[in-house]
């Protein structure tokens, strides 16, 4: 019985880890800012300005943003543009059929995307969004001029490109490649996309290579300072999407501290009481 239980637990652990590793490009850890109200507010502003045009967040009403420290007045003044009321849901005017025509895929509702993309024990959905938004690169051969490392051939153009500024990307892969004569050979491929999205590929055969396969990506921003500020903004945006997927988490964490404190005190009382009860029995 116990053995079986341990087996099941071990199995589910390995599954969780392999799922996380399967995603191709490794996800980076997003800075944890869930208790930082300024970050959440900035994330809300970015979301409304840059994402809500295409994506809805139908499980959220604007006035829920009072939970992250905004007043209804601030919400009305800074986040409502098209005559919505503060009690309205975060919906969009774009029709899914049109979106499909324009982008090849309908933009999903983002209410719970951070929960949908999280893996037990692996990277969180916040890490997913953080890495996804930071791995767009210009590729002229794509219909919208953009591609993405986390979501190859994505139907979404880089929404924040103006904040990030142009950058080039170089991908250096070493892999065993099948040859025409049926043998395999180690090859290094260097794929470079310049800031305008023009591609340049160089391949070399690695004679006598004894290492293993590798895949390394380097981004070189034209404006390093803008790119660093952009990373910081994206951390706030990913943080906000994490909160949106589970708005009660702030309350739960606040409550959690009190619950732990209560349990701790209760344990002390029970301990003493136990001693008193058994004192005369022995
Ligand atoms: C111009 C329209 C447009 C804008 C603006 C836009 N998106 Fe998207 N987004 C899309 C489309 C279309 C898809 C579906 C892509 C696909 O399935 O190929 C998508 C997909 C996504 C996904 C899902 C990725 C996945 O793995 O399933 C996330 C997350 C996302 N967008 C986040 C954002 C965020 C955050 C913003 C704001 C910074 C944003 N989007 C702005 C059109 C847009």
At residue 8, the pLDDT reads 54
Cα angle value 270/271/275 (rounded, 5°): 110
Atom of ligand 1 nearest to the CA of 160: 38
Q: b vs e for 49-70, b when ≥16 Cβ sit within 10 Å of the residue's Cβ?
A: ebbbebbbbeebbbebbeebeb
Q: Which two tokens stand for residue 138?
A: 């210009």
Low pLDDT (below 50) residues in the chain? 13-23
CB 275: neighbour CB atoms within 10 A? 9
Q: Which two tokens stand for residue 147?
A: 């591609």
At residue 10, the pLDDT reads 55
Q: Which tens digits make up the pLDDT trace of 75-123?
A: 999 898 878 899 999 988 788 888 888 888 999 999 999 999 998 888 9
R_g of the chain computed on alpha carbons: 25
Contact 192, 216 (CB under 8 A): no
At residue 5, the pLDDT reads 56
Atom of ligand 1 nearest to the CA of 51: 37
At residue 18, the pLDDT reads 36
Protein residue with least CA distance to atom 33, ligand 1: 51
Q: Which tens digits make up the pLDDT trace of 153-173?
A: 999 999 999 999 999 999 999
CA of 7 to the centre of ligand 1 (A): 39
Atom of ligand 1 nearest to the CA of 99: 12
- Beta-carbon contacts of 163 under 8 Å, excluding residues fewer than 6 positions away, are 226, 229, 230, 233
Whether 43 is in the pocket of ligand 1, judged by its Cβ within 6 Å, is no
At residue 21, the pLDDT reads 36
Whether 52 is in the pocket of ligand 1, judged by its Cβ within 6 Å, is no
Whether 161 is in the pocket of ligand 1, judged by its Cβ within 6 Å, is no
Cα angle value 134/171/179 (rounded, 5°): 140
Whether 107 is in the pocket of ligand 1, judged by its Cβ within 6 Å, is yes
The residue to mutate among 149, 156, 161, 230, having the most atoms of ligand 1 within 8 angstroms of its beta carbon, is: 156
The residue to mutate among 25, 42, 44, 55, having the most atoms of ligand 1 within 8 angstroms of its beta carbon, is: 55
CA separation, residue 228 to residues 33, 89, 135, 223, 232 (Å): 17, 33, 14, 9, 7
- Beta-carbon contacts of 250 under 8 Å, excluding residues fewer than 6 positions away, are 34, 35, 67, 68, 243
Protein residue with least CA distance to atom 11, ligand 1: 107
CA separation, residue 276 to residues 67, 267, 273 (Å): 46, 14, 5
At residue 180, the pLDDT reads 92
Whether 25 is in the pocket of ligand 1, judged by its Cβ within 6 Å, is no
Burial (Cβ within 10 Å: 0-12, 13-18, ≥19) of residue 90? buried
- Beta-carbon contacts of 129 under 8 Å, excluding residues fewer than 6 positions away, are 30, 113, 114, 117, 237, 238, 241, 242
At residue 153, the pLDDT reads 93
Whether 102 is in the pocket of ligand 1, judged by its Cβ within 6 Å, is no
Alpha-carbon distance of 25 to 16, in angstroms, equals 17
Whether 105 is in the pocket of ligand 1, judged by its Cβ within 6 Å, is yes
Atom of ligand 1 nearest to the CA of 237: 35
């Amino acid at each position: 019985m116990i053995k079986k239980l341990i087996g099941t637990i071990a199995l589910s652990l390995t599954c969780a880890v392999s799922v996380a590793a399967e995603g191709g490009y490794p996800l980076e850890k997003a800075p944890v800012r869930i208790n930082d109200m300024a970050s959440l507010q900035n994330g809300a502003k970015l979301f409304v300005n840059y994402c809500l045009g295409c994506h809805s967040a139908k499980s959220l009403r604007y006035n829920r943003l009072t939970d992250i420290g905004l007043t209804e007045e601030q919400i009305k003044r800074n986040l409502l543009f098209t005559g919505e009321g503060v009690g309205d849901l975060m919906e969009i005017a774009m029709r899914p059929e049109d979106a499909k025509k324009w982008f090849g895929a309908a933009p999903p509702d983002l209410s719970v995307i951070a929960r949908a993309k999280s893996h037990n024990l692996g990277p969180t959905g916040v890490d997913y969004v953080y890495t996804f938004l930071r791995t767009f690169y210009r590729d002229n051969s794509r219909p919208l001029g953009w591609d993405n490392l986390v979501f190859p051939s994505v139907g979404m153009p880089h929404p924040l490109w103006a904040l990030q500024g142009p950058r080039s990307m170089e991908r250096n892969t070493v892999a065993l490649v099948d040859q025409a004569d049926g043998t395999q050979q180690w090859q290094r491929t260097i794929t470079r996309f310049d800031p305008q999205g023009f591609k340049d590929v160089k391949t070399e055969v690695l004679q006598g290579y004894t290492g293993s396969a590798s895949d390394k990506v380097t981004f070189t921003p034209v404006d390093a300072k803008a790119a660093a500020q952009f990373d910081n903004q994206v951390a706030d945006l990913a943080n906000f999407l994490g909160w949106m997927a589970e708005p009660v988490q702030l309350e739960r964490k606040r409550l959690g501290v009190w619950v732990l404190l209560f349990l701790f005190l209760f344990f002390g009382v029970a301990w003493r009481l136990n001693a008193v009860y058994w004192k005369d029995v022995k």
